[in-house]
Amino acid sequence: MQLEFSDKLELLGGDAANDLACQSCAANPNAAVVTHRANQPLAAPEPPTRPRDLKPWLAYAMRSDGKRIPVVKTLMTSACEKDCYYCATRRGRNAARRETFKPEELAAGFNLIQQRGLAQGLFLSSGVIGGGTRTMEKTIAAADLIRRKYEFRGYIHLKLMPGAERAAIERAIQLADRVSVNLEAPNTARLRKLSGTKHFTAELLAPLRAARALMREQPALARTSMVTQFVVGPAGETDREIIATAIRLYQELRLARIYFNAFRPISETPLENHAPTDPLRALRLYQTDFLLRQYGFTLDELLFDANGLLPLDTDPKTAYALAHPEKFPLDVQTAERAELLRVPGLGPKSAQRILDLRRTHTFTTIQELKNLGADAERAARFILLNGKQPARQLALFSV
């Protein structure tokens, strides 16, 4: 029996839910990992749950201007020739229901949804059928119709398929605001524990490198951003491996973001009996990622245990501060910007406000830092105000 568009979207949108790389960690737009504020520690992330009145195919994306918008999030097809050991749509999984959109069907349906004001963008991924290029021909055809026939000028995120050819990658970049390839693992050895049919360098890393090369050759394409995602836990990788790879990716490919998906076992997959990954581990990776991208931290400044894992009992910035008592407390009146950014509770914005204001002002109270947007309670034990530690002030401030 042929399904109506809405029925297909319910199914294929649900199948796309575990891909976080649309700038959303869940359907809930207030989830902690999405709305991180630099001055505050992140709360433990919620699992990908969805309010009852929110459609399975609706998620949230963050545009380059910082505005979060609702997007249709779906697969082009849930059929797949890949065997990823953790994936609900892997080949041979009998519990997976297979459906496919035709390009015109998806384009017309999306047009109606966005005209009704239910969504302002599209995140389009797909199972792989007939190779990466052939799969992308379908997603590109849908995106092309949305752009040309329906004259949609809003946000589109397209997945680059494993092993896709350069021409398909180029067209995707021309059509999309964001493209991505999920590397899933930090290196070849780890990926072998997640899939027997994917190749880390030739199939996954190569499309990202080709996209970056195209952006260098054609500056107009550089408006399109790139992201990737790791599945955390089932390959036995360490946090140090993930972070080291992330640093190389940021340096080599200038990725906009990297996402971390805490593994959850799915029935009728080879990893169905593997223990789920503690969501707190993914949270620590997100916090570390922010330190790398926004605070200027280096790999050598991060603390890992003997197994190469980030501590779960404290955030990585506080762990750094506690491990370097010789650097703290820090006088906010004289400290350099890089030093201020290493104080727990101070972020890029509050640090810059301190630098700007202290030219004509001497800080003497915790309340003054709080007024600048700092997490004053967190920062108190690591700073000096007018040459004094503000512990007594903090006690009064907390009453």
- What confidence category does residue 62 fall into, taking pLDDT thresholds of 50, 70 and 90? confident
Structural domain boundaries in the chain = 5-293, 325-398
What is the average per-residue pLDDT within 299-319?
97
- What confidence category does residue 93 fall into, taking pLDDT thresholds of 50, 70 and 90? very high
Which CATH architecture group holds 325-398?
Answer: Orthogonal Bundle (1.10)
Please state, as a whole number, how many other Cβ atoms lie within 10 Å of the Cβ of residue 69: 15
* Alpha-carbon separation of residue 216 from 209, 212, 219, 221 (angstroms): 11, 6, 6, 8
Cis peptide before 41 (omega within 30 of 0): no
Rg (CA), the chain: 23
Answer whether residue 184 shows pLDDT above 70: yes
Answer whether residue 41 shows pLDDT above 60: no
- What confidence category does residue 322 fall into, taking pLDDT thresholds of 50, 70 and 90? very high
Structure tokens at 116: 């009704």
Phi-psi region of 10 (alpha: psi -120 to 50; beta: other; left: phi over 0): alpha
**8 A C-beta contact, residue 17 and residue 60:** no
Confidence (pLDDT) at 54:
60
Q: Please give the model's pTM, rounded to 2 decimal places.
A: 0.88
- Percentage, residues of the chain above pLDDT 70: 88
Structure tokens at 263: 């593994």
**8 A C-beta contact, residue 12 and residue 99:** yes
Q: What is the pLDDT of residues 259-287, one digit of tens each?
A: 999 999 999 999 999 999 999 999 999 99
Q: Please tell me the least confidently modeled range out of 26-40, 257-271, 347-361.
A: 26-40
- What confidence category does residue 391 fall into, taking pLDDT thresholds of 50, 70 and 90? low
Confidence (pLDDT) at 393:
56
Answer whether residue 235 shows pLDDT above 90: yes
The CATH class given to the 5-293 domain equals: alpha beta
- What confidence category does residue 94 fall into, taking pLDDT thresholds of 50, 70 and 90? confident
Confidence (pLDDT) at 2:
58
- What confidence category does residue 47 fall into, taking pLDDT thresholds of 50, 70 and 90? very low
Answer whether residue 396 shows pLDDT above 90: no
3-state secondary structure the chain: CCCCHHHHHHHHHHHCCCCCCCCCCCCCCCCCCCCCCCCCCCCCCCCCCCCCCCCCCEEEEECCCCCEEEEEEEECECCCCCCCCCCCCCCCCCCCCCCECCHHHHHHHHHHHHHCCCCCEEEEECCCCCCHHHHHHHHHHHHHHHHHCCCCCCEEEEECCCCCCHHHHHHHHHHCCEEECCCECCCHHHHCCCCCCCCHHHHHHHHHHHHHHHHHHCHHHHHCEEEEEEEECCCCCCHHHHHHHHHHHHHHHCCCEEEEEECCCCCCCCCCCCCCCCHHHHHHHHHHHHHHHHCCCCHHHCCCCCCCCCCCCCCHHHHHHHHCHHHCCEECCCCCHHHHCCCCCCCHHHHHHHHHHCCCCCCCCHHHHHHCCCCHHHHHHHEEECCECCHHHHHHHHC
Phi-psi region of 212 (alpha: psi -120 to 50; beta: other; left: phi over 0): alpha
Find residue 331's DSSP bridge partners. Answer: 384
Answer whether residue 29 shows pLDDT above 80: no
Q: How far apart are CA 276 and CA 273, in angstroms?
A: 9
Q: How far apart are CA 109 and CA 102, in angstroms?
A: 11
What is the average per-residue pLDDT within 116-123?
94
Q: What is the pLDDT of residues 126-157, one digit of tens each?
A: 999 999 999 999 999 999 999 999 999 999 99
Q: Kindly give, in sequence order, each residue whose CB lies less than 8 Å from that of residue 167, ignoring residues fewer than 6 positions away.
A: none
Confidence (pLDDT) at 390:
83
Confidence (pLDDT) at 164:
96
Answer whether residue 381 shows pLDDT above 70: yes
| Mean per-residue pLDDT of the chain | 89
Q: Kindly give, in sequence order, each residue whose CB lies less than 8 Å from that of residue 56, ignoring residues fewer than 6 positions away.
A: 10, 13, 14, 17, 50
